[in-house]
Structure 1
């Protein structure tokens, strides 16, 4: 049976216009029951609705903002900012070497409350020639991300919409905890959209599909998340994590060289929670490897991954 996340079901947005669509609580419960997830169905049954049985959008927004605030604390504990910078710093150095002076633009796809973008802005880690933009289809999350950035006086901004429909293209796309939301052909299309853009590279962190991931997610979210929805979706996310092979196949699109950093077979499963898939234009691969230095040994393409698994 498919593993579903409640947060994916209780909001619906037109991907082109960004317009909020009504969601029937009964329909969500039906889908969860069909997936054999009675616990998730009970959680949704407790959410408020109007007289037509449609979920109250204000209550849903408040709930999701609260859950994402707790997710931000997890990001802080997992040092997501440092992990991103470990790869983004050499990546932008390679871009400057091969493409000349900026300005450049980093776009965070599905930014949520914008923790990654705000961390990069607060640390000034990538330099003044990199514009920092967060994009999400959820208007409430974008509004809260923008409020937090203004309160912290950070030089970054957030956009409600589709990250691949921005008037100004990205130089580098990033995301954290987004890839597992795309299934089947949609995952390949996600990478194709980036390959079809003028972007030079992407760096997407997601849950590593290890045998310990669901257990670790249960322990971590039980200890850190207060709302049952956050606890449920944290474990569901780990169960939906893509294998290294799936990610490399999906990212193998024309014009992009896909690389995994510290794939499952090359890392300690007790320490590996997230790992990134990186895509670069072919002319950028050698400068990127040089910029990484000794850490380049942790990069694997599809051929090296297969060879290691034999």
Structure 2
């Protein structure tokens, strides 16, 4: 049976216009019951509705902002900012070496409350020539991200919409905890959208698909999350994580060289929680590896899929 996340079901947005769509609580419960997830169905049954049985959008927004605020603790404890800079620093160094001085643009896809973008802005870790933008289809999350950035006096901004339909394209796309939401052909289409853009590279962190991941997610979310929805979806995310092989195959789209950093077979399963799939234009691979230095040994490419143990 499919593993479903409640947060994916209780909001709906028109991907073209970005307009909020009504969601029937009964329909969400039906989907969860069909997936064999009675616990999730009970959680949704407790959410408020209007007279027609449609979920109260304001209540849903408040809940999701609250859950994402708690999720920020996960990003802090896993040192997501430092992990991003470990790779993005050398990546932008390679881009500057091949493109020359200019203005570059980093776009965080599905930014949520914008923790990654706000951390990069607060530390100025990538330099003043990198514009920082967060994009999300959820208007409530983007609004809160913008409020936090203003309160913190940060030089970054947030956009409600589709990250691949912005007036100005990204130089580099990033995301954290987004890839497992794309299933089947949608995962390859996600990477094809970036390859079809003028972007030079992408770097997407997501949960490493290890046997310990669901257990670790359960322990962390039980300790850190107050609402049952956050606890449920944290474990569901770990169960939906894509394998290294799935990510490498999906990211192997025309015009992009896919690279996986710290693949499962070369990492300690007790320490590995998130790992990135990186994609670069072919001319950037060698400069990127040189900029990484000794850490480049942790990169594997498409040949990882055809090695003797695969």
Q: For residue 224 of structure 2, what is the aligned residue in structure 1?
A: 224
The answer to whether residue 15 in structure 2 is matched with residue 10 in structure 1 is no
Question: Could you tell which deviates more after superposition, 240-249 or 297-306?
Answer: 297-306
Paired with 2:304 and 2:269, the residues of 1 have a C-alpha distance of 19
Q: For residue 137 of structure 2, what is the aligned residue in structure 1?
A: 137
Aligned length: 310
Secondary structure, aligned partner of 1:268 = coil
Instruction: Give yes or no for contact 1:90–1:292 (8 Å, CA) kept in 2.
Output: yes
Q: For residue 83 of structure 1, what is the aligned residue in structure 2?
A: 83
Q: For residue 33 of structure 1, what is the aligned residue in structure 2?
A: 33
Instruction: Give yes or no for contact 1:265–1:309 (8 Å, CA) kept in 2.
Output: no
Paired with 1:72 and 1:239, the residues of 2 have a C-alpha distance of 20
Q: Which runs of 5+ in 1 are unaligned?
A: none
CA drift of 1:258 comes to 0.2
Deviations 1:58-112 (A, max 9, x none): 0000000000000001100110000000000000000000111120000000000
Paired with 2:119 and 2:186, the residues of 1 have a C-alpha distance of 29
Secondary structure, aligned partner of 1:106 = strand
Instruction: Give yes or no for contact 2:110–2:135 (8 Å, CA) kept in 1.
Output: yes
Secondary structure, aligned partner of 2:250 = helix
Paired with 1:107 and 1:263, the residues of 2 have a C-alpha distance of 25
Paired with 1:304 and 1:136, the residues of 2 have a C-alpha distance of 33
Q: Which runs of 5+ in 2 are unaligned?
A: none
Q: For residue 180 of structure 2, what is the aligned residue in structure 1?
A: 180
Q: For residue 64 of structure 1, what is the aligned residue in structure 2?
A: 64
Instruction: Give yes or no for contact 1:214–1:239 (8 Å, CA) kept in 2.
Output: yes
What is the TM-score of this pair, normalised by structure 1? 0.99
Paired with 1:39 and 1:72, the residues of 2 have a C-alpha distance of 25
Instruction: Give yes or no for contact 1:265–1:308 (8 Å, CA) kept in 2.
Output: no
Aligned ranges 1:115-264 → 2 under 5 Å: 115-264=115-264
Deviations 1:161-210 (A, max 9, x none): 00000000000000000000000000000000000000000000000000
Q: For residue 280 of structure 2, what is the aligned residue in structure 1?
A: 280
CA drift of 1:309 comes to 3.0
Instruction: Give yes or no for contact 2:252–2:302 (8 Å, CA) kept in 1.
Output: no
Secondary structure, aligned partner of 1:174 = strand
Paired with 1:237 and 1:143, the residues of 2 have a C-alpha distance of 24
CA drift of 1:305 comes to 4.8
What is the TM-score of this pair, normalised by structure 2? 0.99
Question: Could you tell which deviates more after superposition, 297-306 or 211-220?
Answer: 297-306
Deviations 1:89-138 (A, max 9, x none): 00000000011112000000000000000000000000000000000000
